[in-house]
Amino acid sequence: MCNSVQTPQARTALQRFVFAAVAALRNTTAAWQRSRRRRAALRELDALDDHILHDIGLRRSELSSLVAEMIGAAPATRRAASRSAP
């Protein structure tokens, strides 16, 4: 008969491990979701015609940086510049 008794220290170590594993899973899931949103936004902007992009003041070469600003992966320089422009 194997009767193991967990000490409070062992129980808290197990809890810390479980909490860390759950946190890692949440972080991975959040990163995956951000990546999906970034790719979807880039795909939609890339599908626009060059004339439409020109009408809204964008060049095709700026799309990646615009999406990075939109998701918060880069400083929002475009929005800051548009606010300060007369």
Kindly report whether the global pTM for this prediction surpasses the value 0.75: no
Under DSSP, the state recorded for 4 is -
pLDDT of residue 76: 78
Residue 3 lies in a domain: no
Range of the domain at 19: 8-84
Tens-level pLDDT at each residue, the chain (86 residues): 556 556 666 678 889 999 999 999 999 999 999 899 899 999 999 999 999 999 988 999 989 888 888 887 777 776 555 555 55
Number of domains in the chain: 1
**Maximum Cα interatomic distance, the chain, rounded to a whole number of Å:** 82
Residue 2 lies in a domain: no
What is the C-alpha R_g of the chain? 23
Torsion of CA 22, 26, 31, 37, to 10 degrees: 150
pLDDT of residue 84: 55
pLDDT of residue 19: 94
